[in-house]
Structure 1
Amino acid sequence: MRHDARRALALCVGLFVAASTTAGQLSRADIARRISPPLVVGEKPADTPAWPISSELTPDAGPVGWVFESIDLAPIPGFEGTPYNLLIQIDTTGQLLDVELLRQHEPVFLSGLGEAPLRDFLAQYAGLNLSQSITVSTAYSDRSNTRQSQSDRVVLDGVTKATASVRIANQTVLTAALAVARAQLGFAGPAQHTPPAEVREDRFEVRSFAQLLADGSIARLRLTHADVEALFAGTDGAGLDSSDASPDALVTELYVAYLNAPTLGRAILGDAGYTHLRGFLEPGQHAWWVATAGPDSLIDTHFVRGTSPERLSLQQHGTPFELRDFDTAPAPPPGAPALNAALVLRTSPLSGLDPAAEQTFELSFTRQRGQILPQRIHRSATLAYTPPADYFRLPPAPLPEWLIAWRERVVELSTIGLALLMLSIALTRPRWLSRSARRLRIFRLGFLAFTLIYIGWIAQGQLSIVQITGAIKTLAAGHALTSFLYDPVSLLIMAFTLLSFFIWGRGSFCGWLCPFGALQEFAAELGARLGLRARRLPPRVALALDRGRYGILLALVLSAALAPAMAERLVEVEPFKTAITVGFDRAWPFVLYALGLLALGAVYYKFFCRYLCPLGAAMVIGGKLRVLDWLPRRAECGQPCQTCRHRCAYDAIDRNGSIRYNDCFQCLDCVGIYHDEARCAPLLLYRRKGRRVGTIKSS
């Protein structure tokens, strides 16, 4: 029972956390306070979590725009694991009117850079249209392309040191806004993953009606009485055909042709008619010639020009598109059969329909049963139409936002990749490098300088406990860890670190790839140059602090799962954001804390890394995956030789000479001593006595 109660409590807490991070926070009254008369806020429709905005001046005209919270439509986990919540306004043409920040939990904008850069970033969306391709520039991409004036592509200014965070914000804005646009404005449905095809204006040849019909440029649907009867089979409308015609007699022939293509448009409308049509079509708007022949007509005497024909509808990828009459009566094209009706129909300008993809036209039929309170039965026949591909130019599919981030940072990724290869060689074959203490010192300090300056301050590749707590929050909310893809440098280092766990343990990251760890090492170097005597904590104190790291890690993990707001404060135990991410450009309490830790590190070697770092505690746990004891030891190590133990600044060597890999930062000092006849006491002694060196033992 107690176990079941604990499970129930955990489930309730999890649901509360998930609900608190994915529910909108504004009421209708809150929205009303944000708009001015004559605009008024309506009730949310049942199918879309968005408020319609209408005008008191035109109450019957329908909404003039929509306002919605992004978290109701696009709860995309941020870098820290919690989604943004943005208030987004769009009008009926798909134009973004405003994007307001309601809530965010990105570490870099929480007392780091502050929210001002994020608000400046969001202000760039005003005036953009959802029909445009909107991407984000970074400090790593071509700044000359920023905020391009091209009508179909816009590149927004990014925020330095917040590359991943602003890309996630961009995905949030576009995903939420497009969801409302698809539901309420008739934009293309979610099945469309590539930009619509573009009509080739240079593609024209004179073709007859019969030729266009033969190659599929004009689609035809022929329906007989038997075909229509089959539509009503099994319904109350079956058998209600009052005609005496034979089953094979024609009911109607439906013709459809895509008019934007010059070959088709000129053949159907003539040169003057085609020029007239194109003069009225707006960018992104499509038009079709639709006609019927035979006894049954597409329209009747009640049809009003400029409206939508009741019997005809269009869908693509399951999304309906409104067809509206162009208010013109086209003459029958040469070679066409005798027609009883012909219309030029067009979509809205921002429909998002792809003219090169299959379009499904539906022609409806209605039968009536009974005289008093008659029952009407409706059925539709479908015509699938795909214009020939050579009428179009197919634009390349847009790259996903995360892949753009990877392409823009190819220089950083390549540079760091080469550095990781060099480090792997040094750790795998360390003998030549480490035998000379001077050579090892030059290499180590040079690599740590690269880690601090390039990986940390320039490429922003500092791994953090926030990535662990953020992953926990994201998974607890039922989302995938896709936010990691937006930070390719960190992901590369993360992947290398995970792989290194199996080979070297935790030390490859903590000893070589942590920018703040490198900064601490330089603090120790500065302390030595200033004449500060290096000190060591009493063993009991050191042990208590070492174990305390795991308590900090546990507290962070539990708070991330159960109390996310508390986790945001607790992660400040790490000084990484202060010292590395924003380069000490932060409020003075945070800067003072980071400098205090560095001052302690100048006296107590790598104090934060060894005694406080929760990420280091997680690295120790990951390091237990190590399959090899790769640091060589001799039988004489520890019995009686204590050289390596006394010189190990990390206190990672026991009295018996064995290596404690949980505490080892892989500085290679002991490897150099092991191979150096001038520093290794057993080698020096046996060489003098002419005896063999003792056997190697496992550590």
Structure 2
Amino acid sequence: MTQRLRALRALAFAGLALLTAVAGAGQLSRADVARRISPPLQVGEQPVDTPAWPITSELTPEAGPVGWVFESIDLAPIPGFEGTPYNLLIHIDSKGTLVSVELLRQHEPVFLSGLGEAPLRDFLAQYAGLTLSRPITVSTAYGERGARGDDGRVVLDGVTKATASVRIANQTVLTAALAVARARLGFAGASQQAPPAEVRDDVYDARSFDALLADGSIAHLRLSHADVDALFADSDGAGRDPPDATVTELYVAYLNPPTIGRALLGEAGYAHLRSFLEPGQHAWWVATAGPDSFIDAQFVRGTSPARLGLRQAGTPFELRDFDIAPPPPPGAPPLNAALVLRTSPLSGLDPGAEQQFSLSFTREHGQILPQRVLREATLDYTPPAAYFHFPPAPLPDWLIAWRERAIELSVIAAALVLLSLALARPRWLSVSATRLRRFRLGFLLFTLVYLGWYAQGQLSIVQLTGAVKTLAAGQTLTSFLYDPVSLLVIAFTLVSFFVWGRGTFCGWLCPFGALQEFAALIGARLGLRPRRLPPALARVLDHGRYVILLTLLLCAALAPALAERLVEVEPFKTAITVGFDRAWPFVLYALGLLVLGALYYKFFCRYLCPLGAAMVIGGKLRRFAWLPRRAECGQPCQTCRHRCAYDAIDRNGTIRYDDCFQCLDCIGIYHDAERCAPLLLYRRKGRRVAPAAPRRRTAASATLPR
């Protein structure tokens, strides 16, 4: 058993070493850590196989490490919202309790120069004193620090406007801390699938030994010589014993439930056992009958039986003798050995789930240099469910984020359905200029206030650069799951590319784009005359968006630190994410763009926005030319072209979908007999014109960015 545990721990250490090589070394030296540790504690050297510093005490140097300190980047390089992992200095004690979590380095946009790092440091301070044996998650609502959830979880206070970022920080802390705890503390950790079952102390029924055997409370394995010989069938140790005689009978019973413990140990023995068991610690009665005992001659009380092992779901658990001599239970067969064995309090074993006990057998072959062959017989044991309370399985942290934002997601989903209906059947809405104006301004107000400022659903170029950095580092994009509002908008936008093109997001769902439209309205009320850039300059700036986009994506892959600074070309974080609560240069830049937007309609969207450039590329997936045109459009009628605030209609009447923001003005003019010049002309002449149906997109209708 000891050799197997050593081998499995060596594999765990090798896994940690591999993680270290992949993630890169941390930024602190032993001296840096020592400055953070107060006497009588002192910092030792890192083991070669674990990227963590052992903490020992000068008062008890013989006791070994009293804790471990490590950098999360070495063990859990989980990409953040921006694509770069956190680096946190984590300190755990020898019992698996978090002593402290210190921020070393982070690249989350909302904490860099938006909210600042103070809210993040306050969030990390909540981990002090929490145990790794309980699931820890993050709430979006503020509540009591360290509160217990209904399912046994510890729920931490979140950070407003940074929900996704702090959830990723929580995963970083837990992944790194559990990796060290498993490798150095023999700690299996809280189940990621479900909390361990809890023994029901209120359930007791006096049972005989035979009754406990019959209902599975005691597991029994009989091994004959034929059974043992079959274990060695593929070795030279096979075929040595008579087949029918019994070698041993193994009995195993979980002692924590009162029904089993009191029946096997007696009232006094069970009370003695429970008085010494620590929370989360488990004990078993293990015995053998027959010629062969599971205890060999070298066994020392208080240690682990060398021939007996325990696994659960592939994880080994060390069993140690409780150092009490259990009397033979009434009704039990003659036994050759019996022990009460226990696990570590930090084991994390689930007593209500299947446990696999193994009994090893050894045979030797050869005279001069004998070869030893080791085989194991296994006994699967699951105590009856009636002895336990089974807490419900906690949801994954990302799914909790979705559940907690169910109302916001429902409201936004309803708005997206409404927008889809408006774009799918735009005639009724747009034929009345007043109706369209009210609907559009109302929807843009919803986009700005609810989707942007309240729900934090502003899509950003940071999501693209973060995805590039994450993929370049060989990681997955699971961090997107922690931001359900943005993910919903992303999914809808991707679908809209195929149906309507790029303008669905840029024209209706971008909070900063909505803010620019309101800035233009305010400018008009103040008497500012709208202007248009010279066509040559407009083309240069338009193409410049793609240069900015390409530069940001290349920097994200090749120079991540530079990309973090260059993404500030986008004012979304300043104006939407933190609501202008930021350093004055950023605020001045965002306000300057809004002033330009009041003079030159949607200046940033049309000439500088790298996300808009990416949207144009996505809009190439559009399958329909859904904006109707007449033969007279542009030949000679120029009404729509002159009224298009986006300059998205050519002189020949063709709509450039790459530049169209889908304001629906041209559709309203097209269907309005009082505004459409061809309809007015034909009405005077007594002629009727049948509306042209939207045409399926062809290769000829595709246009390149101008």
- Normalised by the size of structure 2, how large is the TM-score? 0.91
**Separation in structure 2 between the aligned mates of residue 192 and residue 325 of structure 1, nearest angstrom:** 29
- Residue of structure 2 equivalent to 1:564: 560
User: Are residues 303 and 444 of structure 1, via their aligned partners in 2, closer, same or farther at CA, if it must alter by over 3 Å?
Assistant: same
Structure 1 residues 372, 615: CA separation in 2 closer, same or farther (over 3 Å shift)? Answer: same
Consecutive unaligned residues of structure 2, counting only runs of 5 or more, are 1-19, 696-700, 702-706
Question: 1:377 & 1:668 partners in 2: Cα distance?
Answer: 81
Contact 2:549 2:614 in 1 (8 A): yes
Question: What's the offset of the Cα at 1:418?
Answer: 0.8
Report the equivalent of 1:660: 656
Deviates more, 1:382-391 or 1:40-49: 40-49
Q: Is the 8 A contact 1:326 1:346 kept in 2?
A: yes
Q: For residues 146-225 of structure 1, what are the structure 2 equivalents within 5 Å?
A: 147-148=146-147, 152-188=152-188, 193-225=193-225
For residue 684 of structure 1, what is the amino acid of its counterpart? Answer: L
Structure 1 partner of 2:389: 393
Distance 1:340-1:444 versus aligned 2 partners, 3 A rule: same
CA contact (8 A) 2:143 2:157 kept: no
Q: Which residue of 2 aligns with 1:342?
A: 338
Q: 1:334 Cα shift?
A: 0.8
Secondary structure of the equivalent of 1:110?
helix
Deviation per CA, 1:10-42: give whole Å up to 9, x if none: xxxxxxxx9896442223333233323333333
Match runs of 1:14-93 below 5 Å? 22-93=24-95
1:232-289 Cα offsets, whole Å, 9 max, x none, are 56667678x8xxx955333332211001122211211123322332222222111101
**Deviation by residue 1:96-125 (Cα, 9 ceiling, x = unmatched):** 011111111111111111111111111110
Deviates more, 1:672-681 or 1:163-172: 672-681
CA distance 1:248–1:571, change in 2 (3 Å):
same
Q: Take 1:377 and 1:449, find their aligned partners in 2: how far apart are those partners?
A: 76
Work out the CA distance in 2 between the residues paired with 1:627 and 1:236: 71
Q: Is the 8 A contact 2:132 2:190 kept in 1?
A: no
C-alpha distance 690-274 of structure 1, shift in aligned 2 (>3 A): same
Q: 2:612 aligns with which of 613, 616, 621?
A: 616
Aligned CA distance change for structure 1 residues 164 and 218 (closer, same or farther; 3 Å) = same
- What letter corresponds to residue 292 of structure 2 in structure 1? D
Helix, strand or coil at the partner of 1:257:
strand
**In structure 2, which of residues 344, 354, 360 is the aligned counterpart of residue 358 of structure 1?**
354
Query: What does residue 115 of structure 1 align with?
Result: 117
Q: CA 1:523 to 1:247, structure 2 compared with 1: closer, same or farther past 3 Å?
A: same
Range 259-268 or range 36-45, more displaced: 36-45
2:687 and 2:228 mapped to 1: Cα distance? 105
- Summarize the Cα distance change of 1:452–1:21 in structure 2 as closer, same or farther, 3 Å threshold: farther
The Cα of 1:398 is off from its aligned counterpart by 1.3
Q: Could you say which residue in structure 1 is the equivalent of 2:135? A: 133
Q: Which amino acid aligns with 2:170?
A: N
1:258 aligns with: 254
Q: How does 1:599-678 map to 2 (within 5 A)?
A: 599-678=595-674
1:418 to 414, 420, 429: 414
| Structure 1 unaligned blocks of 5 or more | 1-17
Say yes or no: does 1:445 pair with 2:441.
yes
Residue number in structure 1 paired with 2:6? none
Contact preservation (8 Å) 1:312, 1:363: yes
How many residues were matched structurally? 675
Whole-Å separation in 2 of the counterparts to 1:539 and 1:371: 96
Distance in 2 (alpha carbons) for counterparts of 1:19 and 1:326? 41
Aligned pair partner of 2:529 in 533, 549, 555: 533
1:298 Cα deviation from its structure 2 partner: 3.2
Distance 1:367 1:639, change over 3 A: closer
Shift of 1:439: 1.2
Residue 280 of structure 1: aligned partner: 276
Alignment correspondent of 2:583: 587
How has the CA–CA distance of structure 1 residues 643 and 246 changed in structure 2, closer, same or farther, with 3 Å as cutoff? closer
Q: Which moved more, 1:664-673 or 1:364-373?
A: 364-373
- Which of 101, 106, 116 is equivalent to 2:103? 101
CA gap 1:189/1:19 in 2 versus in 1, 3 angstroms: closer
Contact in 1 for aligned 2:452/2:576 (Cα 8 Å) = yes
C-alpha separation in 2, matches of 1:55 and 1:309: 31
Deviation at 1:327, TM superposition (A): 2.3
8 Å CA contact 1:189–1:317 kept in 2: the answer is no
> Does the Cα contact within 8 Å between 2:23 and 2:74 map onto a contact in 1?
no
Q: How does 1:482-497 map to 2 (within 5 A)?
A: 482-497=478-493
| 1:4 corresponds to | none
From 662, 676, 690, the equivalent of 1:680 is 676
Match of 2:469 among 465, 469, 473: 473
Structure-2 change in CA distance of 1:604 and 1:145 (3 Å) = same
How far off is 1:689 after superposition? 1.6
Structure 2 SS opposite 1:360: strand
CA contact (8 A) 1:186 1:320 kept: no
Deviation at 1:473, TM superposition (A): 0.8
Q: Does the 8 A contact of 1:191 with 1:317 survive in 2?
A: no
CA distance in 2 between counterparts of 1:405 and 1:610 reads 34
Closer, same or farther: CA 389–695 of 1 in aligned 2, 3 Å: closer
Matched residue of 1:80: which SS? coil
Contact kept in structure 2, 1:131 and 1:152, CA below 8 Å: no
Superposed CA offset, 1:596-655 (max 9, x none): 000101111110000000000001111111111111111111111111111111001111
CA deviation after TM superposition for structure 1 residue 219, in Å: 1.4
Question: Of 453, 460, 478, which aligns to 2:456?
Answer: 460
Deviation of the 1:479 alpha carbon:
1.3
Specify the code of the residue in structure 2 equivalent to 1:26.
L
Q: CA deviation at 1:325?
A: 1.9
- Residue identity matched to 1:211: A
**Secondary structure of 1:658's aligned partner:** coil
CA distance in 2, matches of 1:375, 1:206: 49
Looking at structure 2, the residues matched to 225 and 489 of structure 1 have their Cα atoms a distance apart, in angstroms, of: 64
Distance 1:612 1:21, change over 3 A: farther
Residues 51-71 of structure 1 deviation map (CA, whole Å, 9 limit, x = unaligned)? 222223333322211122112
CA distance in 1, matches of 2:21, 2:500: 42
CA displacement, residues 143-164 of structure 1 (integer Å, 9 cap, x when unaligned):
4565315794321111111010
**Aligned equivalents of 2:329 and 2:276: distance in 1?**
21
Whole-angstrom distance in 2 between the partners of 1:497 and 1:370: 73
Q: Does 1:555 align with 2:551?
A: yes
User: Which amino acid in the other structure matches residue 169 of structure 1?
Assistant: A
The answer for the alignment partner of 1:7 in structure 2 is: none
In structure 1, the partner of 2:542 is 546
Q: Which moved more, 1:127-136 or 1:216-225?
A: 216-225
C-alpha contact 2:133 2:190 (8 A) present in aligned 1: no
For residues 319 and 499 of structure 2, what CA distance do their matches in structure 1 show?
A: 64
8 Å CA contact 2:481, 2:487 repeated in 1: yes
CA distance in 2, matches of 1:340, 1:20: 52
Over 3 Å counting, the alpha-carbon distance change for 1:30 and 1:642 in structure 2 is same
Conserved? CA contact 1:189–1:319, under 8 Å: no
Contact 1:21 / 1:83 at 8 angstroms: preserved in 2? no
Structure 1 residue 301, shift from structure 2 partner? 6.5
Q: CA deviation at 1:435?
A: 1.3
Helix, strand or coil: the match of 2:423? helix
Distance, in Å, in 2 between the alignment partners of 1:435 and 1:504 is 19
